[in-house]
Amino acid sequence: MKKALCLSAVLLASGAANAEGEAKWGYSGDKGPENWAALSPDNAICSGKNQSPINLTGFIEAELQPITFDYQKGGQEILNNGHTVQVNYASGSSIEVDGINFDLKQFHFHAPSENHIEGKSYPLEAHLVHASEEGDLAVVAVMFEEGEANEGLKQGWANMPEQAGDEHPLSEQASASALLPSDRDYYRFNGSLTTPPCTQGVRWLVMKQPLTASQEQIERFADVLHEPNNRSLQPVNARPVLQ
């Protein structure tokens, strides 16, 4: 039952609004991240010891196996759920990690970045969210630095819904491959979803090589969201960060 609920949180526009249109959680004030665990019994794990995001540092050398990416064009629709802009993905694209196949369900963005790398924050971070048949979760995170315009963002940005709850079909299916760097080396740690219900046991795979996005692209996303949508850094505790 727990894994079914976790998968629902990934697939749905989680936390957008209740029937009265009032946001269930947010990034500031009484509904901000420091209060998520108290907002609902379903969010209790938000105060757990294996939460994301983190500052990735103190790396442990490990023989990490390459991630096997099998991405097809499959981005069908883009939506604004009030907390991020998200592209929902058709079935048929996946990664393989630890001998397990994880299907790509959606990708979305945070500005500024949620994870930091050796203390560095980035202006934009993409999360490509995957789930196995058993309901286990894996997130590929990609950082963006300000620089050249990013071709992989252009289609979604041109169709970006400006109001919470708005959803637009994409006339041509988007490809998540365009959001991956050429160098697929990565950091790995065990964490959680960065939004309620903050489900733990998530495999985090953070690409080492950042991509670029133009100032205009970064500002466009920030203007639509109206406020930063990054959860504060969480304690690493005893978790190893592998590279």
Catalytic residue among 83, 108, 110, 130: 83
How far is residue 161's CA from residue 149's CA, in Å, rounded to a whole number? 20
The answer to whether 203 and 188 have CB atoms below 8 angstroms apart is: yes
Amino acid at 158: A
Q: Any catalytic annotation for residue 83? A: yes
- The dihedral over CA atoms of 174, 86, 179, 158, expressed in degrees to the nearest 10, equals 60
Give strand pairing partners of 102.
95
- The dihedral over CA atoms of 30, 138, 127, 1, expressed in degrees to the nearest 10, equals -40
The answer to whether 239 and 49 have CB atoms below 8 angstroms apart is: no
Residues noted as catalytic: 83
